[in-house]
Amino acid sequence: MIDHEQITTSDDAALHSAGRRRFLSLVGQSGATVGGLALLSACGSDSSSSNPTPTPTATSTASTEAADITILKFALQLEYLSGQYFSYAATGAGLPASDLTGSGTQGTVKGGALVPFSDPQVAAVAREMARDDRAHVEYLRSLIGGTPTAMPSLNIDSGSTDAFAALAGLAGVTPFNPYASDENFLYGAFILKDVIATAYKGLVPVLGTPGFITGLAGVLGTEAYHAGLIRTLLYQKGFTVIPGKLSAARDSLDGSTTLDKGIAGADNTISNVAPVDGNGITFSRTTGQVLNILLLNKASVTTGGFYPAGVNGTVNTSAANG
């Protein structure tokens, strides 16, 4: 266990339409281009705005649906990661094999372990999130229809050279085993849930199919509840120092603009459970920024970190931030 003491909003309709058209104009290009796609960032991946407005281009209904499926497939790759972490932490076992098949190379999970919870409330939260994330995997697979993308290889191990420890190491938090205690489990959950919530905040506005918008917005809502609950538990328990360091580490990977925030103000007298801007709005991450963090690389790459062999699908490349 780590000693925590030591260590301008824009019009929604215009944003939705413009973002969707921008995504569709890019999705028809080569896989490499689409892989590095910044869904809401025609102006680049290093924006300080909570709601960046892309450049609109014309599109068709058929291409709208095709692009939406591409978005859903990327979301599914995120849910595989979160689902496996919470499933192992809460139950000692991963997601069922029937949830993992599909297009691309199906991978395996490195690591994962049952957390020896001492606080029954934290254990209950872990079980709830494990259940919800499994449901997200199954829901997204059904929403995609046909052949969804398979689960890629995942690294959620507890070793000193594995993804969790590597990200924590960037924050100066060593050693780090996310399965060692309630506290460490919450730090691992904080690492993933904040990133996934901001990813969905970026994905939903660029969808064009009403049923997909409703579905993914519902998943966004759940992930936001999850992230807020994790942040609340950390704040209530007084674990405020390390989340700030982990937040800074994530921010160092996804661009030069400060987006990420810890769970407490500078003087620690006010909570920061909701990381919002002056308008009370949470920020978005592009797909490239999300993968900067999860691949643990500021450069444009396709493998590393939590996805040692990369993600399945055409949206698969981190942004070039340094």
Q: What is the mean pLDDT of residues 73-80?
A: 98
Band of residue 48 on the pLDDT scale cut at 50, 70, 90:
very low
Residue 148, preceding bond cis, omega within 30 degrees? Answer: no
Rounded Cα distance between 306 and 312, Å, is 13
Q: Which residue has the higher pLDDT, 124 or 6?
A: 124
**pLDDT at 301 > cutoff 50:** yes
293: Cβ contacts below 8 Å, ≥ 6 apart: 167, 195, 250, 253, 254, 305
Structure tokens at 296: 């643990």
Look at 21-35, 59-73, 247-261, 271-285 and tell me which has the smallest mean pLDDT. Answer: 21-35
Stretch (H or E) spanning 122: helix 120-144
- Confidence grade of residue 11 (pLDDT, cut at 50, 70, 90): very low
Identify the band that residue 1 occupies on the pLDDT scale cut at 50, 70 and 90: very low
Average pLDDT in the chain:
85
What average pLDDT score do residues 256-262 get?
Answer: 88
The whole-number pLDDT of residue 315 equals 97
The pLDDT of 70-87, averaged and rounded, is 98
Q: Grade residue 7 by pLDDT with cuts at 50, 70 and 90.
A: very low
Closest C-alpha to 8, from 277, 315, 322, 304: 277
109's enclosing H/E stretch is strand 109-111
- Domains parsed from the chain with CATH numbers: 12-294 (1.20.1260.10)
Given a cut of 80, whether residue 30 has pLDDT beyond it is no
Spell out a b/e string for 133-148, using b for 16 or more CB atoms within 10 Å of the CB, else e: bbebbbbbbebbeeeb
pLDDT of residue 258: 85
- pLDDT one-digit tens code per residue, 175-202: 999 999 999 999 999 999 999 999 999 9
Distance linking the first and last C-alpha atoms of the chain? 33
Give me the pLDDT at residue 137, please.
98
Rounded average pLDDT over 241-259: 93
Q: What is the pLDDT of residue 82?
A: 98
Whether residue 54 is predicted with pLDDT greater than 50 in this model: the reply is no
Structure confidence by residue, pLDDT tens digits, 260-269: 999 997 666 7
pLDDT interval class at 66 (50, 70, 90): very high
